[in-house]
Amino acid sequence: MTLDLSPLYTPFQLGPLTLPNRFVLPGMQRQWCEDGMPLPKLGEYYRRCVEGGVGLVITESCAVDHASSTQVPFFTRISPATQDAWAGIVAEVKSAGGPMLMQLWHEGAIRQEGGDGPWAAYPTLSPSGLAHGARPNGRAATLEELDDIKQAFVRSALMAREIGVDGVEVHAAHGYLLDQFLWAETNRRDDGYGGDDIRDRVRFPAEIVAAIRAATGPEFVIGFRFSQWKEVNFNTRVVDTADELKTMLDILRAAGVDVFHASARRFWLPEWDGSDLGIAGWTRRLTDRPVIAVGSVGLDIDVMENFFGQEAKSTGEEGLRELARRFGNGEFDLISVGRGHIGDQGIVGKMREGRLGDIRGFTRKDVLGDLELEGGIQFEAHAS
Ligand SMILES: Cc1cc2nc3c(=O)[nH]c(=O)nc-3n(C[C@H](O)[C@H](O)[C@H](O)COP(=O)(O)O)c2cc1C
């Protein structure tokens, strides 16, 4: 069977944005940053991705303007102190005509405690003071603190809008704060924001979406990224059934989500027995919002296997045929290419031209340099 990727090179209307094709650069931290301020090199890299063909840029996870969001100086933040630096990044992307969302993020109970940074004395806050594996870290946020964090998301979204970003992606995946709300293991609250019922666990993330929507109006794109898997546990789940998934999506959609980014490590893996739909395919089936799929496009091993020591190889035409097949089945509207873009910012254009052999492959060294990995370290901490 010949490889026909042309359907993926058709435009897509995402709210007010006309995307030239279906390819997305997903949030990926590069650590090109000083004291929370992105360095020009980050903007140049995003611009190269747009010039290389990608249809939508989502920035790396950017900590929201709150003392508890992160303490790590080489993770970008959005705040009055960093807004100008971000404006420079936006200008680069816009100079190439790229639509752009900023990924808004808060570490929750994964935050490092102590240190001597400006926020060292501030407590680490999360739903129940629990990181994965029921490991205590920090404490449960009070309702007042939750409101504060929500306002920080809103403030951050407004700062992004002010400098010309087209929308935000609320990061509720991979085990960070908003995922800690969605995940029953880390959310044991009994005040209507947690516990066994997904309707309670999604309440705070949905309130954040609704508050951003109310502050930014209908034209500002709001994406929502979620995942079943965590960096520390690949087999766990936020929702156990399609019914639960639908409940979660309906609440988020009503709150104002424009696009769901269903994060998987491999886009082709079925989510539940009895169907070959992945989590993106299920999301697409259960909501009328567009869906971004992701996970090892063009690569034989997933991001975590990469981080824990193996090198990825190209799956060549075969993997891309499966991508085209699933897209043709209507399982997703947009597809993220992560590591592929780190390896080669021109990957989208080269695939279009059928120049697969010219694509520079991703290597671990591209992000890790000479750093060696230990088990269980957050991957957002490992770009370089
Ligand atoms: C170096 C690196 C940094 C990442 N940082 C983020 C991040 O900031 N936010 C996020 O949501 N995902 C992050 N991810 C996950 C990617 O967005 C993506 O989901 C993952 O790499 C799978 O896509 P791929 O198989 O095409 O690489 C990161 C991945 C890599 C490789």
- Assess if residue 94 is contained within a domain: yes
Residue 248 resides in a domain? yes
Q: How far is CA 53 from CA 20, 297, 356, in A?
A: 9, 16, 14
**Parallel, antiparallel, or unpaired for β 221-230 and 167-174?**
parallel
Q: How far apart are CA 56 and CA 1, in angstroms?
A: 29
Which of 49-53, 109-113, 203-207 has the lowest average pLDDT? 109-113
Number of domains in the chain: 1
Domain that holds residue 163: 6-381
- The CA distance from 353 to 347, in Å, is 10
In-domain check, residue 239:
yes
Residue 338, Cβ density class (10 Å: 0-12 exposed, 13-18 middle, ≥19 buried):
buried
**Helix 242-255 crosses helix 279-286 at what angle (to 10 degrees)?**
60
**176 is known as an active-site residue:** yes
| 74 domain-assigned | yes
Summarize pLDDT for 173-198 with one digit per residue, the tens: 999 999 999 999 999 999 999 999 99
Residue nearest to atom 4 of ligand 1 (CA): 28
Instruction: Annotate the chain with three-state secondary structure.
Output: CCCCCHHHHCCEEECCEEECCCEEECCCCCCCEECCEECHHHHHHHHHHHHCCCCEEEEEEEECCCCCCCCCCCCCECCCCCHHHHHHHHHHHHHCCCCEEEEEECCHHHCCCCCCCCCCCCCCEECCCEEHHHEECCEECCHHHHHHHHHHHHHHHHHHHHCCCCEEEEEEEECCHHHHHHCCCCCCCCCCCCCCCHHHHCHHHHHHHHHHHHHHCCCCEEEEEEEEEECCECCCCCCCCHHHHHHHHHHHHHHCCCEEEEECCCCCCCCCCCCCCCHHHHHHHHCCCCEEECCCCCECCCHHHHHCCCCCCECHHHHHHHHHHHHHCCCCCEEECCHHHHHCCCHHHHHHCCCHHHCCCCCHHHHHCCCCCCCCCCHHHCCC
The rounded percent of the chain whose pLDDT value lies above 90 is 83
Locate the ligand 1 atom nearest the alpha carbon of residue 299 and give its number.
Answer: 25
- CB atoms under 10 Å from CB of 113, counted, come to 12
Which residue out of 23, 24, 28 has the highest number of ligand 1 atoms within 8 Å of its CB and is therefore the one to mutate?
A: 28
CATH number, domain of 302, equals 3.20.20.70
In a domain, 113, yes or no: yes
Query: Atom 3 (ligand 1): residue with closest C-alpha?
Result: 28
pLDDT of residue 371: 53
The pLDDT value given to residue 1: 73
| Longest CA–CA separation in the chain, Å | 60
Torsion of CA 263, 265, 266, 269, to 10 degrees: -80
Judge whether 331 lies within some domain: yes
Pocket test for ligand 1, best of 176, 377, 379, 382 (most atoms within 8 A of CB): 379
- Give the model's pLDDT for residue 17: 98
Direct distance between the N- and C-terminal alpha carbons of the chain, in angstroms, rounded to an integer? 39
Pocket test for ligand 1, best of 23, 29, 292, 371 (most atoms within 8 A of CB): 29
Q: Return mean pLDDT, the chain.
A: 93
pLDDT tops 50 at residue 15: yes
What's the CA-to-centroid distance between 144 and ligand 1, angstroms?
A: 32
Residue 222's DSSP bridge partners are: 168
| CA angle, 367 then 368 then 370, to 5° | 140
Is the Cα dihedral 303, 309, 313, 315 positive or negative?
negative
Q: How many residues does the chain have?
A: 384
Of 9, 45, 122, 176, catalytic: 176
Structural domain includes residue 1:
no
Please tell me the pTM assigned to this model: 0.96
Q: pLDDT confidence of 377, banded at 50, 70, 90?
A: very low
Model pLDDT, residue 230: 87
- Once rounded to an integer, what is the mean pLDDT over residues 271-299? 97
CA-306 nearest atom, ligand 1 = 31
Task: Report the nearest atom of ligand 1 relative to the CA of 60.
Answer: 8
CA 341 to chain centre: 15
Residues with CB under 6 A from ligand 1: 26-29, 60-61, 103, 171, 173, 225, 263, 294-297, 299, 302-303, 337-340, 367, 379-380, 383
How does pLDDT run across 28-63, given as a tens digit for each residue? 999 999 999 999 999 999 999 999 999 999 999 999
Task: Say which range, 304-318, 329-343, 347-361, 364-378, has the weakest mean pLDDT.
Answer: 364-378
Q: CA–CA separation, 240 vs 184, rounded Å?
A: 11
- Give the pLDDT of residue 308: 83
Summarised one tens digit per residue, pLDDT across range 322-340 is 999 999 999 999 999 999 9
Tell whether the model's pLDDT for residue 118 goes beyond 60.
Answer: yes
